[in-house]
């Protein structure tokens, strides 16, 4: 008797999809943090539209987006936000304040234990 319409073997397409999903970096977790922050190769989401906050990898792609989505507003390259310039990891870290050792309030906002 057969398996009641259940395939007994995996298809080549399904196996290839599983291998691709397991071996390709999709940009999540620790493996993709350098790509998301733009430390290496500029990352993917470099430019941000000032009107709708959508991201694009470069100015040319942002110009294409702008012409398609905001045709009545003139395109101004200097207004585009460079997200990697603002999220630089080499910025100095501010010193912690005196209140860093102070206990934080509980769930309901009280300092009682």
104 alpha-carbon distance from chain centroid = 31
pTM (predicted TM-score): 0.44
Q: How far apart are CA 1 and CA 10, in angstroms?
A: 19
Domain-by-domain residue ranges, the chain? 40-87
pLDDT (tens digit per residue) in 62-112: 999 999 999 999 999 999 988 777 555 444 445 555 566 666 655 555 555
Greater pLDDT, 15 or 45: 15
- Name the 3-class secondary structure at 18: helix
């Amino acid at each position: 008797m057969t398996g009641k319409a259940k395939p007994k073997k995996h298809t080549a397409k399904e196996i290839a999809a599983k291998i691709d999903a397991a071996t390709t970096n999709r940009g999540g977790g620790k493996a993709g943090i350098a790509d998301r922050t733009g430390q290496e190769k500029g990352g993917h989401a470099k430019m941000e539209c000032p009107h709708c906050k959508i991201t694009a990898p470069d100015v040319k792609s942002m110009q294409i987006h702008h012409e398609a989505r905001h045709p009545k507003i003139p395109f101004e390259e200097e207004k585009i936000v460079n997200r990697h310039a603002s999220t630089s990891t080499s910025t100095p870290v501010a010193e912690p304040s005196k209140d860093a050792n102070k206990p934080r309030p509980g769930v309901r906002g009280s300092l009682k234990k």
